[in-house]
């Protein structure tokens, strides 16, 4: 309760009544207005380093550009920004700095991950809204900026984005998508946009509510997609798609900005594909599993995407959980026991899938993403914590970088895909995504050297966001065993 609120109380009778009711509630709870005004920092329980000037010394810098690591660097953070970074011999810690010796450790830019969600499959056809726990897990995993790639909850992504930006809740900066732009489907938590006019109104409404991004989905028609693209662009929003009814080539011609799931969702190569109809995800996947990445049809599609500057989001993490013979994904212990159980059952089903298309599709998906980058395409990264469980925010973001290395990228290239490429896509690369003087101090300190051993990316010790150092262990402990409830 603030003095300003009491002053505003004079303006309307209704607001006055509400203000007084809230005030009497606080007094009844034992809060005096003076105590309530102190507003203790809600982030404090998760913060381990918070000083106006911090110097990280003797640290290996992997700067997010894809350049080789630089050893024995000094990195000075002042007022939330990188004030200077350079060789220990040329940059010395300021006298007023809190000095942290990081000998043997590395610093990478905060991850900029582009296919994240704040919901999770909690039951048949039901997506539970887990934004409060997920945002802590993302930050703990090193994610300092993320895009939600689709929203099944309405206003929550937007509110979380705002509250995190206001410093009221811990989490990454969030590019918050509107509820899915989709046609009629069986999804209980999606709108059914039948016409271009409905699509335009949907985009306009959610843009007015505060959405900053759009995601089209599998049953959208070309007309509705075109209307959503145009309305979104007129409001400065980018639009991505997990498509099926519309092919990648059609979407590129309509002006889409990004396509999700690498080439795994492309229906361009389904022989009898009817316009505006999804032939089924499985048909598209069979065609993609069989495609030759050096053949003319695939190269023509890649050339079109590169020419139209359509980005591609790699989400290998979710496909790994569908692929027989893959390791158990990390982070399952933070889930509720019932979600852990349900993933184990899904994992058993996957292990027994001797005919699974993913045996060939998963390595093919990796090869196609490499081919796209080789041809000059902008590959960005995300994790898609949906499917049948097992993609756990934060942990999955680290796993996604590891899988890019398995796909054939060098560790520093994979880190660049998960940092500066995401920043470029968002148009924020002047501020985030790389380590350089003047950039926002979004930094992940990891033990070891992920440039030679990418698994070290899991050994996160501190996550700096705007220069404030968060403790991943505290963030994770605050949600452990409860992810699935809130």
Task: Output the CA–CA distances (angstroms, integers) from residue 20 to 3, 23, 28, 419, in the order listed.
Answer: 12, 5, 12, 47
Output DSSP code: residue 178.
P
Of 23 and 346, which has the nearer Cβ to Zn ion? Answer: 346
Verify binding: residue 258, Zn ion, rule CB under 5 A: no
Residue keyed to tokens 């990648």:
248
97 close to 49: Cβ distance less than 8 angstroms: no
CB of residue 404 to Zn ion, shortest distance in Å = 18
* Minimum CB–partner distance for residue 445 and Zn ion (Å): 29
Query: Is the separation of the CB atoms in 104 and 448 below 8 Å?
Result: yes
CB of 213 to Zn ion, least distance (A): 13
C-beta of 313 vs 323, nearer to Zn ion: 313
Query: Least distance from C-beta 178 to Zn ion, angstroms?
Result: 14
- Alpha-carbon distance of 155 to 142, in angstroms, equals 25
Q: Which is nearer to Zn ion, 59 or 244 (CB)?
A: 244
- Report in angstroms how near the CB of residue 464 gets to Zn ion at its nearest: 28
* Number of amino acids touching Zn ion (CB under 5 A): 2
Shortest Cβ 264–Zn ion spacing (Å): 12
Q: Which residue is nearest to Zn ion (CB)?
A: 384
Nearer to Zn ion, 218 or 225 (CB): 218
In terms of CB distance, is 93 or 172 closer to Zn ion?
Answer: 172
Considering beta carbons, is residue 69 or 385 the nearer one to Zn ion? 385
- Shortest distance, position 123 Cβ to Zn ion, whole Å: 18
Site for Zn ion in 110-149 (CB under 5 A): 149
Nearer to Zn ion, 149 or 475 (CB): 149
Is residue 397 packed enough to be buried (19+ CB in 10 Å), middle (13-18) or exposed (0-12)?
Answer: buried
- Given a contact cutoff of 8 angstroms between Cβ atoms, the answer to whether 450 and 411 are in contact is yes
Residue-level length of the chain: 486
Nearer of residues 422 and 450 to Zn ion, judged by Cβ: 422
- Are 362 and 317 in contact by the 8 Å Cβ rule? The answer is no
Helix residue spans in 235-379 (DSSP H): 248-254, 281-289, 296-307, 316-320, 337-351, 358-374
User: In this structure, are residues 441 and 82 in contact, taking their beta carbons and an 8 Å threshold?
Assistant: yes
Instruction: Answer yes or no: are the C-beta atoms of 104 and 437 closer than 8 Å.
Output: no
Q: What are the CA-CA distances from residue 298 to residues 60, 270, 288 (Å)?
A: 40, 12, 9
Site for Zn ion in 365-384 (CB under 5 A): 384
For every residue of 317-333, DSSP letters joined together read: HHHHTTSTTPPPPTTGG
- Measured from the CB of residue 101, what is the shortest distance to Zn ion in angstroms? 41
Residues near Zn ion (CB under 5 A) are: 149, 384
């Amino acid at each position: 309760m603030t003095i300003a609120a009491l002053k505003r109380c004079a303006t309307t009778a209704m607001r006055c009544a509400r203000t007084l009711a809230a005030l009497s509630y606080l007094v009844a709870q034992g809060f005096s207005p003076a105590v309530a005004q102190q507003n203790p920092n809600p982030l404090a329980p998760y913060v381990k380093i918070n000083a106006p000037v911090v110097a990280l010394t003797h640290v290996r810098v992997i700067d997010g550009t894809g350049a080789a690591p630089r050893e024995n660097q000094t990195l000075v953070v002042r007022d939330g920004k990188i004030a200077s970074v350079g060789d220990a011999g040329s940059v010395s810690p300021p006298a007023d700095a809190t000095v942290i010796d990081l000998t043997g450790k590395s610093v990478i830019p905060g991850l900029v991950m582009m296919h994240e969600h704040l919901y999770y499959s909690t039951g048949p056809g039901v997506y539970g809204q887990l934004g409060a726990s997920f945002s802590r897990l993302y930050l703990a995993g090193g994610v300092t900026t993320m895009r939600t790639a689709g929203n099944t909850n309405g206003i929550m992504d937007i509110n979380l984005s705002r509250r995190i930006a206001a410093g009221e809740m811990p989490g990454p900066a969030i590019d918050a998508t509107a509820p899915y732009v989709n046609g009629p489907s069986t999804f209980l938590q999606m709108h059914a946009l039948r016409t271009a006019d409905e699509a335009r109104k949907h985009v306009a409404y959610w843009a007015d509510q505060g959405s900053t991004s759009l995601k089209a989905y599998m049953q959208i028609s070309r007309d509705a997609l075109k209307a959503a693209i145009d309305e979104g662009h007129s409001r400065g929003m980018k639009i991505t798609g997990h498509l099926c009814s519309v092919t990648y080539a059609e979407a590129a011609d309509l002006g889409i900005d990004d396509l999700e799931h690498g080439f795994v969702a492309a229906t361009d190569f389904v022989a009898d594909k009817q316009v505006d109809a999804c032939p089924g995800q499985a048909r598209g996947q069979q065609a993609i599993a069989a495609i030759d990445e050096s053949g003319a049809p695939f190269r023509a599609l890649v050339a079109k995407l590169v020419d139209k500057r359509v980005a591609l989001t790699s989400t290998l993490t979710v496909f790994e959980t569908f692929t027989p013979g893959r390791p158990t994904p990390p982070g399952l212990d933070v889930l509720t026991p019932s979600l852990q159980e349900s993933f184990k059952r899904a994992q058993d089903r996957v292990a027994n899938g001797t005919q699974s298309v993913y045996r060939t599709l998963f390595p093919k998906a990796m090869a196609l993403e490499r081919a796209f980058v080789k041809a000059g395409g902008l590959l960005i990264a995300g994790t898609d914590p949906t499917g049948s469980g097992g993609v756990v925010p934060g942990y999955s973001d680290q796993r996604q970088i590891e899988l890019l290395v398995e796909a054939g990228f060098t560790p520093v290239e994979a880190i660049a895909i998960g940092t500066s490429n995401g920043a470029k896509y968002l148009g924020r690369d002047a501020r985030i995504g790389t380590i350089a003087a003047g950039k926002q101090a979004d930094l992940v300190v990891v033990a070891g050297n992920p440039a030679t051993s990418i698994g070290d990316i899991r050994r996160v010790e501190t996550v700096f966001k705007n220069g404030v150092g968060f403790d991943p262990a505290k963030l994770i402990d605050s949600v452990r065993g409860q992810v699935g409830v809130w």
